[in-house]
Amino acid sequence: MKNQNGWTIWTLLLTVAVLLAVVLLFMKLTPHYLDNYKLESALEHVSTDSRVTNMTRREILREIKNKLYIDYGDELINLDESLVIEKRRGGMTLSLDYEVVVPLVSNVSALLDFNNSADVVY
């Protein structure tokens, strides 16, 4: 007597559940990665500006906020807390370090840690 091989209903349900979990995770996390891309783009835009070497912190923040306003990303994070400007000999580094907590299901959340930086050379 031969045994039948193939998927049972339980295997099919397990596969569908795993696929739904992956799709849910993708749908929940993708917008935050796209928002991070906007922030990274704004940081790069400001770091390539030739005037940035003579700007104050407030002016750099204003330039980043203006770029984010155009990209509909001006309210993503608190730039005053997240932006770090480190001056060194021969240039400076602009850094944006922040975390986002994304609720997934019930009391399960994902913590996304983003670290963006751009170097400015005098």
Which burial class, exposed, middle or buried, applies to 55 when counting CB atoms under 10 A from its CB (0-12, 13-18, 19+)? middle
What domain range includes position 25? 9-121
Considering the entire predicted model, what is its pTM? 0.84
In this predicted structure, what is the pLDDT of residue 22?
A: 96
Number of structural domains in the chain: 1
**Is 2 part of any domain?**
no
**Is 1 part of any domain?**
no
Model pLDDT for residues 3-58, shown as the tens digit of each residue: 778 888 999 999 999 999 999 999 999 999 999 999 999 999 999 998 998 899 99
**Is 3 part of any domain?**
no
In this predicted structure, what is the pLDDT of residue 32?
A: 96
**Is 26 part of any domain?**
yes
**Is 110 part of any domain?**
yes
- Residue ranges of alpha helices (H) inside the chain are 9-47, 57-70, 79-82
**Is 4 part of any domain?**
no
Assess whether pLDDT exceeds 70 at residue 1: no
